[in-house]
Structure 1
Amino acid sequence: MGAFEEKIKKLCADRELPGIILLARDNGGHFQYTETFGHKNPTEPIDLDATFWLASCTKLLTTIAVLQCVESGQIKLDDDVSSVLTELKDIEILTGFRDGTDSPILKKAENKINLRHLLTHSAGFGYDHDERYQRWSASRIALGQEEDLSLLGKISKPLLFEPGTSWEYGYSLEWVGVLVTRLSAMSLEQYMQKHIWDPLGIHNITFHPEKKPFVKNNLVKMSRRGGNPTFGLPIRNEEKVEWLDETVFDLSTLDEYGGGGLTGSATEFMEILQSIGRNDGKLLTSAIVDEMFTPQLTGAAAKAYQDGIALPHMQDVFASHKAGTRVNWGLGGMMVLEDEETGRTSGTLSWSGMPNLLWSIDRNAGLNLFYASNVLPAGDFKSGSVQRWFEKKMYMRFQESGWFAREWKGT
């Protein structure tokens, strides 16, 4: 075990980090890195059987599912989705509130929402924590409207801007999941089992861990850095990681959230990354994989996303990028448009999950990485430092192995 591994082992032993799994695979089957560190609960060491709440890593699988529907001719990327998602037919935009009240000001959207908008978070949906949605919900409750806690009830909200004109992270992929179920006449679980998991021999990823004993019994216990909120921006401090008893996401829900509902194996999630990275045709054709790795945002939407990574609260957190790094959005995740000092090459596709998980597919270098943990809050600073160190080490070792697909320009 090298100095890198010894350092991570000590961080976990000192409760600076919870249990983590670090995975790296190249597309040719020559380079492989697999390590576990720390504990999955207060008494059991983590191992490769460990399963995680995958949170927003779910979005990649939901994207793959709907792109399969595109390939089969059921829908096109630029089609108006309201022909299937009829709830969106006359959707309104929340433009503000009447003075001194929570009474919303709404106007009908002029642009139609297409599938590309949903896949790139440029449709106009946000998440519940947005203060505008909280005020909108308060106004409905004040009028005596009962809160609908079903999936459709939670995601049926007004837009925050005209479709295609800005960028906001939100419920778009939940709507994509609903779209897949209606196009296929299958549940999202059934669809992914047949069209994603079975082709790759995956058994331990699911929306319903209570129905898969292996997934449920090996689930990593959620943790949180002391002194930090469960939700919200991370606080930079030196407090230890503590185990949580409360539930962050209801894993027993019958609803299948396409934007964040999956639980499963880190090693099996890597199988999906490798399939896309290798472009092996098991999940998608070469043409649609190329589209995934094509920058999708233009104009004001591209600027809104680019400006977002430079915000002060986005610096040095988990899964962050240096201010000024050129970025865009592909289909399934964000894209860097220039080489980064950790080793990532221009065109790498990646995204994270709320409790500090991060996947990346670097087609140019031929390397796929997955950092898996379940610690809160999102953006944990210490997890971010370790993740960037892990990434840099993997690119260095991959280069040293002689199988690196192109000359590395990092340091």
Structure 2
Amino acid sequence: MEFEKAYEKAVEDNILPGYALMAGNKNGKVLYSGARGMQSLRDASSRPFQLDTICAIASMTKLMTAVAALQCVEAGLLELDKPVSDLLPEIGKYGIITGFDDEKNEATMVPNSTPITLRMLLSHTNGHEYDWFNPLLMKWRASRGEMPWVGPTVEQKSTLPLIFEPGTSFRYGAGSDWAGKLVEKATGKSLEAFMAERIWGPLGIKDITFYPKKRDDMADRMATISTLNEKGEGPAVDAPDFDILFGGTECLGGGGGFASMEGYFAFLQAVLRKDRSLLNDLSWTELFKPQLNEQCKKAFNDYLKSSPLHSQYLGMCIPTDLEKTWSFAGMICEKGQRGRMSDGSIFWGGVPSMTWYLDFEAGICGVAACQIIPPMSPSVLALHEQFQREMYQKFSGAK
């Protein structure tokens, strides 16, 4: 296949140290699986990148957290539209940041009047934005002698001023981290324990965890992060000082997972087939349906177009003229793209240029794994697009 040649050339040209790809259909069939390259560029490593290589999956964790949260809703432990402040008193406590006085080195805040709900957390309409995306929040962090998104706990990383009234706009932030914390509060279990019991266990998956360093069986299968230069050009080199968790020690529902692609793909395929061992039919419908009203949807699409970084990192290099919205599962492309995907396909990915997709009309899903930064590097995402296109053209019947 042509995409295989493109990936192989990227490995030979030292753009991509290693990768794993899997695609399948809703009937449980694996349509393609393959891996090549090395799992690490560190001197002592010689292990090839394989389907059982353990990767930091970053924001690909969010899909699992959304499923876990809806499991709690099904069980009556949480409600989508109930304020979360009783279980998460830290969230939103600073109000909304409206400006910053450089002379006084202090932020201007106003109270928010709308309570934050689980629905807002899973939809990124809760008022939060990752601090490293927002200049005002970066100034606020610096005024307190703090670094962005650094610290062991969700509270330390993500107790931030809001940047808009909850429910009125869209920004990409730590909603899934807070949702994971909400699951822990509601169940009395760690997110690791809850997902092992309710998601990974029922699917027979052993290679997903928040704590790979505690797993002796993963020690020699851990991939490491490599980096291209700031322009996304090779050769890739080892990035030994890059900590993808930035000091995190808790289960981070928004980005703290580690998985083999065999393991994650088994979960993704269960999502594609709407496996009833995970959720009932109503919950699957809720997971996939568009959650943004017209105002928030416009804010989302404007956000993706606001800078090349946003269209690359959050828009996943998908053309910005394709209208998008958001579901609890991830980003929905409302219209398909000829030769690539059907209307309503859902996408998301993770910092080390990782992507997954669900194409319900074509009945296929796929995941593309690697461990390369800068995040969502366009040269790597172009390879993942080629993989998706060939899977679509070969297995969906579309040409």
TM-score for the superposition, normalised by structure 1: 0.89
Letter in 2 for 1:51: I
Instruction: Name the CA distance, whole Å, in 2 between partners of 1:138 and 1:273.
Output: 39
Q: Distance in 2 between matches of 1:53 and 1:149?
A: 17
User: Which residue of the other structure, out of 34, 45, 49, is the alignment partner of 2:48?
Assistant: 45
Equivalent residues of 1:24, 1:34 under 8 A apart: yes
Residue in 1 aligned with 2:333? 336
CA distance in 2, matches of 1:252, 1:122: 26
Aligned AA (2:172): Y
Deviation at 1:124, TM superposition (A): 0.9
- Structure 1 counterpart of 2:393: 396
- The one-letter code matched in structure 2 to 1:329 is W
Tell me whether 1:296 sits opposite 2:291 in the alignment. Answer: yes
Confirm or deny: 8 A CA contact 2:90 2:155 kept in the other structure.
Answer: no
Following superposition, the deviation at residue 212 of structure 1 comes to: 1.2
Paired AA for residue 336 in structure 1: C
* CA distance 1:44–1:148, change in 2 (3 Å): closer
Please tell me the residue identity of whatever aligns with 1:131. P
Q: Deviations over 1:199-223 (max 9, x none)?
A: 0111111111111122332111211
Describe the superposition over 1:223-254 as per-residue Cα deviations: whole angstroms up to 9, x where unpaired: 111x22xxxxxx25x43211222132249853
Whole-Å separation in 2 of the counterparts to 1:307 and 1:349: 19
Deviation at 1:47, TM superposition (A): 1.3
Question: What letter corresponds to residue 220 of structure 2 in structure 1?
Answer: N
Name the CA distance, whole Å, in 1 between partners of 2:247 and 2:153: 13
From 259, 271, 294, the counterpart of 1:276: 271
Aligned partner (choices 233, 236, 241) of residue 241 of structure 1? 236
* Counterpart residue number, 1:17: 16
How has the CA–CA distance of structure 1 residues 259 and 165 changed in structure 2, closer, same or farther, with 3 Å as cutoff? same
**AA matched with 1:346:** D
Secondary structure, aligned partner of 2:283: helix
Aligned counterparts of 2:333 and 2:53: Cα–Cα separation in 1: 30
Tell whether 2:107 aligns with 1:108: no
Root mean square deviation of aligned Cα? 2.0
Report how far residue 384 of structure 1 moved.
1.5
Aligned to 1:326: 323
> Residues 226-265 of structure 1: matches in 2 within 5 Å?
227-228=229-230, 235-236=231-232, 238-250=233-245, 253-265=248-260
Post-superposition offset of 1:148? 6.4
Q: TM-score, normalised by structure 2?
A: 0.92
- Residue 78 of structure 2 corresponds to 75
CA contact (8 A) 1:207 1:262 kept: yes
Deviation at 1:14, TM superposition (A): 2.0
1:99 Cα deviation from its structure 2 partner:
5.5
Secondary structure, aligned partner of 2:305: coil
Contact 2:92-2:162 within 8 A present in 1 as well: no
3-state SS of the aligned residue for 2:60? helix
Q: Which residue of 1 aligns with 2:34?
A: 35
CA displacement 1:340-379 (0-9 Å, x = unmatched) = 1342112222211011111111122110110111100112
Report SS of the residue matched to 1:44.
coil
Matches of 1:98 and 1:20, distance apart in 2: 47
Query: Could you list the per-position Cα deviations for residues 52-98 of structure 1 after superposition, in whole angstroms to 9, with x for gaps in the alignment?
Result: 00101011111111110011112221111112212237551111123
User: What amino acid maps onto 2:194 in structure 1?
Assistant: Y
1:363 aligns with 2:360: yes
Counterparts in 2 of 1:115 and 1:241: CA distance versus 1, 3 Å: same
Q: Identify unmatched segments of 5+ residues in structure 1.
A: 229-234, 401-407
* Residue in structure 1 matching 2:206, options 203, 210, 225: 203
Q: Note if contact 1:126-1:168 (Cα within 8 Å) is conserved in structure 2.
A: yes
Q: Aligned partners of 1:210 and 1:149: how far apart in 2?
A: 16
Match of 1:133 in 2: 137
- What SS is found at the alignment partner of 1:371? strand
Q: Distance in 2 between matches of 1:135 and 1:386?
A: 37
2: CA distance, partners of 1:148 / 1:34: 37
Task: Check conservation: 2:95, 2:162, Cα contact below 8 A.
Answer: yes
Letter in 2 for 1:136: W
Contact 1:360 1:369 in 2 (8 A): yes
Change in CA separation of 1:306 and 1:385 when aligned onto 2, cut-off 3 Å: same
Q: Is 2:4 the counterpart of 1:5?
A: yes
**Percent of aligned pairs sharing the same letter:** 31
The whole-number CA distance in structure 2 between the counterparts of 1:198 and 1:77 is 25
Contact 1:309 1:321 in 2 (8 A): no
Aligned to 1:404: none
Contact 1:309 1:320 in 2 (8 A): no
Contact 2:92 2:160 in 1 (8 A): no
Query: Do residues 386 (structure 1) and 383 (structure 2) align?
Result: yes
**In the alignment, residue 200 of structure 2 is paired with which amino acid?**
W
In structure 1, distance between residues paired with 2:29 and 2:66: 28
- Output the CA distance in 2 between the equivalents of 1:148 and 1:12: 35
Contact in 2 for aligned 1:208/1:253 (Cα 8 Å): no
Secondary structure, counterpart of 2:128 in structure 1: coil
